[in-house]
Structure 1
Amino acid sequence: MEGEPTAELIRTQLRRLRLNAELSQEEFGKLVHFSGSQVSAVELGQRPLDRFFLKRADEVLGTGGLLTSLLKLAERDGQPSWFRPWLEAECNAQQLRCYHPTLIPGLLQTENYARAVIRADDMLCDDEVEKRVAVRLDRQAVLSRPQPPKLVAVIEEAVLRRADEGFRGVMTQQITHLLQCIERPHISVHIIPAEVSTHVGLAGPFTLARGDDGGWVGHLENQLGGTTVDKDDDVAILIARWESVRSEALPQRQSTLLMKEVMTSWS
């Protein structure tokens, strides 16, 4: 498993907590709805760590969520090296500015939408898809902390309307989620209408994060991963492009009406 040092810590803590509770692997397995052999496989590292299993283990052992919290750290440790600097910047951000020409930004995706987007990569097995979905949803916790960052997202109208009949249920849920998000004072979503045929943002998605020190860091996505941008000149270019993209988008009220109109058009 990626993030192996933390994963090993989880297995060690699980075994310690089980033994302290004076439970055999069979007894513990019955409580968490796993077999004794499955519990043994988890503790020995022969079976991947499972969120459901660790959640039940936390409940049975009364850990206060210790094991699932450690799993989140393991998943973060297991992220590609190119992504870790951005995860840190995102986690510590006071402000976030996000533009994506083809997708709903990850921080605002529903579970079903995220799963559909990630599953589109047919090189990923089901376990890897679920792992990536879980990590994406965990990242959204930054928007629910006591002092969350101010998030401004710009989305193309075409992204909202990209839904055939089989995908409209997922998309309706996703747009409803966006409307719920913008009810929170620190989140705003602005839509670039379809009649804006071209603008500088169409060159690709990017996100900006402003830290405690007032400095900005950027992140660029591409087919092979992404790049964290921290050079002053490059960041200045991204900030200028953000201002250009934002100027093309509708105000919040009009964006809200457009999102509702898109859903109405499907009914």
Structure 2
Amino acid sequence: MNDALRAALRQTGQTIESLASQVGVDPKTVGRWLTEDRIPHPAHRATAADALGRAVSDIWPDTSRRREPVWFRPWQEIEREAQSLRWYESLVLPGLLQTEAYARAVLGGAGLIPRADVERHLAARLARQGILRRDDPPLFTAVVDEAVLRRPVGGRATMREQLLVLAEACAEPHIRVHVVPSSVGAYAGLNGPFVLATCPDHRIAGYLDNQLQGQVVSAPDEVAAILAAWEAVRGEALSHWQSVDLITEVAETWT
């Protein structure tokens, strides 16, 4: 039972039917939000909270914690508290920089996640992005392969929007993106993606992803190996502003 939603309905004089009408969903859907504590689509969450005069977090607090797989939660805690994040991807953009349309295409495109669960995973991913919008965000540095910019994830319109949003995000002082150009041959990044988080106590933890689940690594020798891989991929990448120019240039090819 979602007691916060029930209280908001009572205090505002709204009914399940009236809220459903304002959000644009079936009353049965709102009923499930209420009695089964289902998490709405991000756009529906925002519209419903606005109609009730509440913050989304007041009605659906910490949705990412509740909706991410159990195995991901240790890394989620590290990510949330990190002072800096260094992220390398060779196939897709980092999840914290993905637009809603791009993230939906990534999650649903492979067909490995049941269709009914895609929106749940999407809501969790978008909620995690809030760490980059905090008053005290971590220093976020990403390195991506140029192939990521040219892979048609979600179609041309989705790619154009995603790359323009990415270029805009690069104007933030705490966000840096570097692209490894396609002219680079074999390099360390071809061995797979990874993330490094520097914690408040200056410890460093790593995260490795695979087809089944992710793995948090903290043993000194393992962290040292990932740090070496980071230095190698960063050394092959363009500067931040050269990368922004390339991202903007490629965005225009998706028109």
CA displacement 1:22-81 (0-9 Å, x = unmatched): 666556656666666655444332x734245654553344334344442xx244123222
Runs of 4+ more than 6 Å apart: none
Higher mean C-alpha deviation, range 26-35 or range 168-177: 26-35
What is the identity percentage for the equivalent residue pairs of Structure 1 and Structure 2? 38
Higher mean C-alpha deviation, range 28-37 or range 50-59: 28-37
* TM-score normalised by length of structure 2: 0.87
The equivalent position to 1:135 in structure 2, one of 121, 124, 128, is: 124
Aligned to 1:204: 192
**Whole-angstrom CA distance in 2 between matches of 1:27 and 1:157:** 48
CA-CA distance at 1:228 after TM superposition: 0.8
Structure 2, unpaired ranges of 5+: none
Aligned to 1:87: 76
Higher mean C-alpha deviation, range 248-257 or range 198-207: 248-257
Amino acid at match of 1:58: A
- State whether residues 16 and 30 of structure 2, in contact with CA within 8 Å, keep that contact through their aligned partners in structure 1: yes
CA 1:244/1:48 → structure 2, altered by over 3 Å: closer, same or farther?
Answer: same
Partner SS for 2:38: coil
**Whole-angstrom CA distance in 2 between matches of 1:241 and 1:229:** 14
Residue 170, structure 1, aligned to residue 161, structure 2: no
**Whole-angstrom CA distance in 2 between matches of 1:160 and 1:32:** 35
Partner SS for 1:225: coil
The equivalent position to 1:228 in structure 2, one of 216, 224, 230, is: 216
- State whether residues 100 and 206 of structure 1, in contact with CA within 8 Å, keep that contact through their aligned partners in structure 2: yes
- State whether residues 87 and 142 of structure 2, in contact with CA within 8 Å, keep that contact through their aligned partners in structure 1: yes
**Whole-angstrom CA distance in 1 between matches of 2:133 and 2:121:** 20
**Whole-angstrom CA distance in 2 between matches of 1:130 and 1:237:** 35
**Whole-angstrom CA distance in 2 between matches of 1:163 and 1:37:** 36
Aligned to 1:195: 183
Aligned to 1:5: none
Residue 244, structure 1, aligned to residue 232, structure 2: yes
The equivalent position to 1:146 in structure 2, one of 135, 140, 152, is: 135
Partner SS for 2:70: coil
Q: How many residues align?
A: 254
- State whether residues 54 and 67 of structure 1, in contact with CA within 8 Å, keep that contact through their aligned partners in structure 2: no
CA displacement 1:178-232 (0-9 Å, x = unmatched): 2111111111111111121111121110000111111111100101111011112
Aligned to 1:18: 9
CA 1:211/1:30 → structure 2, altered by over 3 Å: closer, same or farther?
Answer: same
Partner SS for 2:214: strand
CA RMSD in angstroms comes to 2.6
CA 1:23/1:200 → structure 2, altered by over 3 Å: closer, same or farther?
Answer: closer
The equivalent position to 2:40 in structure 1, one of 46, 50, 72, is: 50
CA-CA distance at 1:260 after TM superposition: 2.9
Structure 1, unpaired ranges of 5+: 1-7
**Whole-angstrom CA distance in 2 between matches of 1:189 and 1:25:** 44
For the pair shown, the structure with the greater C-alpha radius of gyration is 1
Amino acid at match of 2:79: E
**Whole-angstrom CA distance in 1 between matches of 2:66 and 2:6:** 22
Aligned to 2:50: 59
**Whole-angstrom CA distance in 1 between matches of 2:82 and 2:128:** 12
CA 1:111/1:25 → structure 2, altered by over 3 Å: closer, same or farther?
Answer: closer
Amino acid at match of 2:151: R
Higher mean C-alpha deviation, range 36-45 or range 78-87: 36-45
